[in-house]
Structure 1
Amino acid sequence: MPLSSGAYTGTGQYFVRFRVGTPAQPFLLVADTGSDLTWVKCRSTAAAAEGRVFRPDESRTWAPIPCSSNTCTASLPFSLAACPTPGSPCSYDYRYKDGSAARGTVGTDSATIALQQQRRAKLRGVVLGCTTSYNGDSFLASDGVLSLGYSNISFASHAASRFGGRFSYCLVDHLAPRNATSACAGGAASPPPATKVPGGGARQTPLLLDHRMHPFYAVSINGVSVDGELLKIPRRVWDIEKGGGAILDSGTSLTVLVSPAYRAVVGALSKKLAGLPRVAMDPFDYCYNWTSPETGEDVAVAVPELALHLAGSARLQPPAKSYVIDAAPGVKCIGLQEGEWPGVSVIGNILQQEHLWEFDIKNRRLRFKRSRCTQ
């Protein structure tokens, strides 16, 4: 399925083109590894007249889930208790960690997904929310959310069960134009040869499917280094058992590090950039004027190399633009945010950009490789 940056809309999301219903109705959904409910805006959604809207009554394969069913009461943790009659549709109120929410009724329908070589596949029985009201700026530019989280009801799990227990995605540069597309797919990751980056060999690390992180995918971080020097970060910061840990979230743009890790990483990076003039810009703590007063061009400053050392001797070495990011013309900022400790650190989509990611749910492995991603 085609995947693209939502930068043209002013959001930090990635959008995937998704077709649902019979006949298939096309939508643009936020790709979110932190969600277990796939939903689309429905006919009665506010402002639906301005964009695409799902019409369940026009789909031959739409089947409402009754509120009295075991699926509604036991399998959907976000379902509401209200059940006027046994045959009434299952209602939901889905809340996100940023405070946004979606409300409506849930059913199942068929999804049509694009495969390689212009082939298509139909997935039947996909759990789908028909959202009639929502709040949150992240949903203004999209038609809903594609659930890529770890859950028996998510689209990712449904697709993975059809395609070898795996799914993958490749995130283009977060500032790429809307016509620069990559792919979100079920099965093994196989980018076109032209997308591969020299020197970017595939790496793998255990994929932690811990119930305390549900529906997120967690990874085990052993340490963080800047220019090859391992930073002094308490091990408990990365330990799920001690209130820490780290997850990947394609629905969050900036990477969030809990306080002990944030202070160590930002301290090391800012020390290396100390020769540049500082400027103030929310929501960042460290921003720099990157423009030469003599030439008006970007100054030639080497950005320190950041590396996340993962379990299994795998290292995530993102390109410099993924953590020292363009924030305004001539201004670059350390693109990390501080999170509360105890708490979980989040590897956001900007730090994931220009990598091909394969989530092998069946074998609990995460594989990744540098890639330009564009098709």
Structure 2
Amino acid sequence: MLSNGRKAKLKGLIIGCTSSFAGPSFRSSDGVLGLGHSGISFASRATQLFGGKFSYCLVDHLSPKNASSYLTFGPNAALVPSTACQTELLMVPLLEPFYSVRVSGISVDGEVLKIPMSVWDVEKGGGAILDSGTSLTVLAEPAYEAVVSALSRHLAGLPRVGVEQFEYCYNWTAAVPAVAVPKLVVHFHGSARLEPPAKSYVIDVADGVKCIGFAPAPWPGVSTMGNILQQEHLWEFDIKNRRLRFQGSTCAPY
């Protein structure tokens, strides 16, 4: 359905369903719409027809059921203002169909972490992609160790608890007075900075339990910024001009 109420068809595109799948990320999912960049993807076909762009805004993963994320194809100048952060959107053949970005570093509480630049360099076995189909942010081992070490130092006063899948988890009911989660910033090439809310990287996993929400990936290897880290931001993928624009948002209907 178009914004003017009319309907449009994407010719030569087949969308199918399956009752068979593999991998833990699908166990609690209703389905996945591939937004990757390839000759046969839904996103590629739709952006060709609708102005070379698509955008989405993801609500908090713990939001009530009446809160909705949204996905839009076509020019969205009214949605993504000129003041939004922007950086180069890479179409790296080695990483296709994923969208890659140039990361220049990560800081915690204002301190730029000592992560080798090779971690963010595709030609040296690294690189970083944005993937709305992956929940957790997965960092190559050198980046993971630097990030979780920095965050855990600030949370050292809280009792640790064991939770499968996460290395650092805490009994948050013991946080009296309230513990301040340090600010984490992902720095992209240029001046663009992703400043996610604390709940996007120190995440709720059970009543009274929060965990540092990153997972390690082998090195050499690619780092993936998942949808929890992306939540409560409006993201515009300008395929035609190879630009990524983003801005904090409540994802309220427009």
TM over 0.5: yes
Match of 2:152 in 1: 270
Aligned partners of 1:191 and 1:373 also within 8 Å: no
Paired residue for 2:197?
319
* TM alignment of 1:84-163, pairs within 5 A: 114-116=1-3, 118-129=5-16, 131=18, 133-136=20-23, 138-139=25-26, 144-163=31-50
* 1:35-114 alignment, distance < 5 Å: 114=1
**Residue type matched to 2:184 in 1?**
L
Letter in 2 for 1:320: A
Deviations 1:323-343 (A, max 9, x none): 000111111110001110000
Note closer, same or farther for the CA distance 1:229–1:149 as it changes in structure 2 (3 Å cut).
same
* RMSD value, Cα: 2.2
SS of equivalent to 2:158: coil
Indicate the SS of the match to 1:261: helix
Q: Secondary structure of the equivalent of 1:285?
A: coil
| 1:372 equivalent in alignment to 2:243 | no
Contact in 1 for aligned 2:203/2:213 (Cα 8 Å): yes
Distance 2:30 2:41 in 1: 17
Q: CA deviation at 1:175?
A: 1.0
> Percent same amino acid at aligned positions?
64
1:372, 1:292 → 2: CA distance?
30
Q: Is 1:359 the equivalent of 2:237?
A: yes
* Cα shift readout 1:123-178 (whole Å, capped 9, x = no counterpart): 22223345464445655665643120000111001110111111111101011122
Report what 2:125 is aligned to. Answer: 243
* Equivalent in the alignment of 2:97: 215
More strand by share: 1
Give unpaired runs (5+ residues) of structure 1.
Answer: 1-113
Within-5 A mapping of 1:253-292 = 253-292=135-174
Q: Tell whether the 8 Å contact from 2:25 to 2:134 is kept in structure 1 after alignment.
A: no
Change beyond 3 A, Cα 1:283–1:363: same
In the alignment, is the contact (CA less than 8 A) between 2:158 and 2:174 conserved in 1?
Answer: no
In structure 2, distance between residues paired with 1:230 and 1:136: 34
For the structure 1 residues 270 and 136, does the alpha-carbon distance in structure 2 shift closer, same or farther, using more than 3 Å as the test?
closer
Partner of 1:204: 86
Q: Equivalents in 1 of 2:244, 2:119: separation in Å?
A: 21
What CA distance in whole angstroms lies between the structure 2 residues aligned with 1:358 and 1:180? Answer: 20
- Verify the 8 A CA contact 1:127 1:154 in the aligned structure 2: no
Change (3 A) 1:228 1:119: farther
Amino acid at match of 1:237: V
Contact 2:54 2:238 in 1 (8 A): yes
CA distance in 2, matches of 1:368, 1:163: 19
Q: Which moved more, 1:125-134 or 1:309-318?
A: 125-134
User: How far apart, CA to CA, are the structure 2 residues paired with 1:206 and 1:190?
Assistant: 18
Is contact 1:123–1:159 with CA below 8 Å preserved after alignment? yes
User: What is the identity, as a one-letter code, of the residue corresponding to 2:143?
Assistant: A
> Higher RCO, 1 or 2 (CA under 8 Å, sep at least 6)?
2
1:182 maps to 69
How far has the Cα of 1:372 moved from its partner? 0.9
* TM-score of the aligned structures, taking structure 2 as reference length: 0.92
Cross-structure match for 1:172? 59
Please give the per-residue CA displacement for 1:169-199, whole angstroms capped at 9, x wherever unaligned: 1101011122211310111336779xx9xxx
In structure 2, relative to structure 1, the CA distance for the partners of 1:342 and 1:159 (3 Å cut) is same
SS of the residue corresponding to residue 32 of structure 2 reads: strand
The size of the alignment, in residue pairs, is 252
Aligned twin of 1:350: 228
Change (3 A) 1:245 1:136: closer
